[in-house]
Structure formats: C-alpha cells, structure tokens
Amino acid sequence: MDISQFTQCSPTAWRIEPTSRMHVPAIIFATESLIRDMDHKVYEQITNLAMLPGIVQAAYAMPDAHWGYGFPIGGVAAFDPDAGGVVSAGGVGFDISCGVRNLLTGLTREDIYPVQKQLADLLYYKIPAGVGSTGPLRLNGDEMNAMLRGGARWAVERGYGRAADLERIEEYGCMAGAEPHEVSEHAKKRQHDEMGTLGSGNHYLEVQQVTRVYAPDIAQSFGLKEGDVVVSIHCGSRGLGHQIGTEFMRSMALAAGQYGIELPDRELACAPINSPVGQRYLGAMRAAINCALANRQILTHRVREAFSDLFPSADLKLLYDVSHNTCKLETHEIDGRQRHLFVHRKGATRAFGPGHTELPDSFKATGQPVLIGGTMGTASYILAGTQTSETRAFSSACHGAGRAMSRHQATRQWHGREVIDELAARGILIRSPSSRGVAEEAPGTYKDVTAVVDAADAAGLARTVARLEPMIVVKG
C-alpha cells in the first residue's frame, strides 16, 4: 500500500484524513513494513466504513488487517444509535463469534513428548473436524432454542464442563438479548448436528508449549510459565452463524435504501440500529454468539476427556475465551462523556484493560487475556488488555496473523502432504481430514504473526505476555 496516502501519527498509527463523504477519519495501526504489505483494498474498505451513518470517533484497522467482505478483516467501528448509527452484518462477518479459547493443562512439554502421537490421534478421534463434520449432539427444536439463549451456560448445565469455566468467558458464557425466534429454521437445521465440531478453513485445535514469557507478573497471574503446555481452540458458530450472516446481508441491502442510507459499497449493507431489521439482526446475532460459546464449551469437554485418558490426574482449567466477530453494546468515554455504543469487531478482539468493570476479579489487576492465533507452523501469543487501548480503538486488539495470500494461491504453491511432512520434521504433528485444507492454511499463507503482535504491543492495543508454539494441530 502507498504510505503517501496517510498521515503518520506515530511509528504504529497511520491516519487517513476524512474526505467529503467520510464522517470521521480512518486509522490503521501497523508498522511501516506491515502497512506497505497490505492490499490497497484495506484502504478502500476502511475509508468506506468511515462513511456509514452514526460512526463515532474513527474507523480503525488492526495490524493484521486484510481485505474482507464489506469491513476489512481487522476492522473496528463503533456506532451511536442516538445519532442514526447502524449495525452491519458485514461488520460482524459470516462466522459470528468465531473466537479462541485457551486451556491450561498443568502439564509440561516433557510430559507430552512420550505420548505425542497417541495424544494427536486421540484428539483427532474426539474432535470432529472438516467440512460436513457432525458432532455428538442432535438438538430438537426446544433444545436448539435453549442453546441459542443459554450459550456456554446451557452446555455446562448439561454436563459439558464446569460452572467455574463461565467466569473465564466473555459475557460469562451467555450473551444477553439473544432472540432464537429471529434465527431462521434453515439456519437452525444447518446447526442440528454440528454442535461440538471444529469446522474447516482456519479453525483448529492446537496443543502448544509456552516457549517465552515477556511479562512475568501477568503470566504468573494467568498461570503461565515457560515449558507449560496449553490447548487453544479456534472455531465459531458454524453453519448457523454463516446462514444468519447470509440472510441478513440481503435484508440489510434492501433496508439501507428504505432508510435513505447511501452505501459506498453494497457489501457494507446495514440498517439503523433502532430499526426493525437492525433489532432483528441483533437478536439473531446474539443467538449465534451463544451458539459459538456453547460449541467451544462442548469441545472443551471433549478435549478434557482426551487428556484424561492419557493423564488421569490432569486438570485442564480455562484461561479465557474471547470472540473476534461480534457487535456488542458497550460504554465508552468519548470527549469526556460516557456513551453507549455498538462496537463492531470483525477479525478483532475485545481487549479490556486493568480495572474494567466488566472483567471478573481474576483479571481486574492484569486486564483481560487477548488470544492471538498463529498458523500451524508458527507461534501464537497471549497478550493482556491495556488501559491505553480504550483511547486507541475502543479497547480492541488484533486477532491473528492475517492472510497474506488467498486460499487458491496457497494451493498453487503448496501441497498438503509436503506441509504435513515438513512440520512433522520440526516436531509438529498435524491431523486433518483434508490435504487441500492443510495446503490452504500453510504457514507461508499468513503474515508474520510476531510482527503483528509487536505492532499491537507498540501501539498500546495490548501487552505481550507469552509466546506459544504448536506441538499438535487438529485442522478442519
């Protein structure tokens, strides 16, 4: 991307001054190297986003930003309903509440090495993965609606996990305001047998070792030290969330014209937050958030079962679960005044800092864990929210490395078998039903996750706590 289009505010903040159609400026958080490597579509999409009604302060993009549907992936924007603010299905994404959950195993890498292959095979057996995968549950109409209302709480009540898990999940495991009746029967049918499944694409389950600690005080509070083994689960609301996104994208494209909203891009289809369409979407989207939270809770239970077969005394405790495709009503201080805003985060995570009132007591001193996923052959990171992130971008941070090339380009450059063999030679075991899927997610298809995390830290979005490297990967 041509950096002459920007005003550089700091080594990690680049501003696009508002044009006549932009209501606010656009700001990208990145180093010069990262921003030069971004596709020009990120520039187009972030400036288009700044043209939507009721947007507050600025349109933001995180260091991992890349082209997406409507919003850039890594896009953050807040809208004021009292100023004609809108909600956009494209600003949440199709995989609603896709997120990362991290579990502390209490084990070390030395415990894992002797049984690494057995554990990889067992996890692959226990965790259904890939396109069309089905899970252990079949939900009837009443149970489907109960799950969409209850989220992870519903799952815990049915024996999938522990009540203590709920304190370590955003919204304490259940998103308020969910309206299952706003979810179509087709969306529910798609989810009928997909609960407890990983899915495909960039979703994964990884057994990881902590290879470096950057903030010992926070790491100790989180229960992390070098040599520890953790488990990360990355997945979302599966077919249900995708169907909701598809259906409301159409509804919002029609609604925008009816409300006199001039869309700079059809993919930015939206509706006023206080309109019937806007309220229907929020009810359905919140139900999809609960679906994702319940799904990750069931997967957590299955992971614990797998570990208990090989390590009967292991106690896998939940560190945190954070989503990165959401729109949430939050209170933020703007120009010295508290305002209730609908914050869209697409491919971006919430990053509440120390002392935030919505955090459980266990994270009041440190800020919430921010979980940044890498790729099969690269590191992932655990960060912590900072007090400065509130003034940077509504307490938001990046969510991963960000793609550097398309899946089609990846399959032209790599073959799944060679990726699996190369990673096995490095001690990383891959289990996947799809060789093509492995090629599409080859490590070289993504940006340098360390550069992304370093930029987020330098920008004050979040503080780096620990580096994780994969030992076992289950891929869809």
The reported pLDDT for the residue numbered 439 is 87
Q: Which residues pair with 205 in a beta bridge?
A: 233, 474
Model confidence at 183, pLDDT cuts 50, 70, 90, reads very high
242 is catalytic: no
**Options 192, 234, 399, 408, the catalytic residue:** 399
Please, what is the Cα angle at 37 between 233 and 202, to 5 degrees?
20
Average pLDDT in the 411-421 region? 88
The reported pLDDT for the residue numbered 444 is 85
Model confidence at 125, pLDDT cuts 50, 70, 90, reads very high
Question: CB 334: neighbour CB atoms within 10 A?
Answer: 13
361: Cβ–Cβ under 8 A, 6 or more apart, which residues?
Answer: none
The reported pLDDT for the residue numbered 20 is 85
pTM equals 0.96
Q: Point out the least confidently predicted range of 95-104, 254-263, 365-374, 410-419.
A: 410-419
User: Which domains are present in the chain?
Assistant: 3-475 (3.90.1860.10)
Q: Which of 131, 127, 118 is nearest to 429 (CA)?
A: 118
The reported pLDDT for the residue numbered 213 is 98
The reported pLDDT for the residue numbered 319 is 98
Helix (H, G, I), strand (E, B) or coil at 431: strand
Average pLDDT in the 206-227 region? 98
pLDDT in tens, 312-330: 999 999 999 999 999 999 9
From the centroid of its chain, how far is CA 24? 26
Distance, in Å, from the CA atom of 88 to the CA atom of 327, rounded to the nearest integer, reads 9
pLDDT in tens, 24-64: 999 999 999 999 999 999 999 999 999 999 999 999 999 99
Average pLDDT in the 168-191 region? 97
The reported pLDDT for the residue numbered 145 is 98
Share of residues in the chain with pLDDT > 90 (%):
88
pLDDT in tens, 146-175: 999 999 999 999 999 999 999 999 999 999
The reported pLDDT for the residue numbered 440 is 87
The reported pLDDT for the residue numbered 18 is 96
Distance, in Å, from the CA atom of 375 to the CA atom of 34, rounded to the nearest integer, reads 18
The reported pLDDT for the residue numbered 354 is 97
The reported pLDDT for the residue numbered 445 is 86
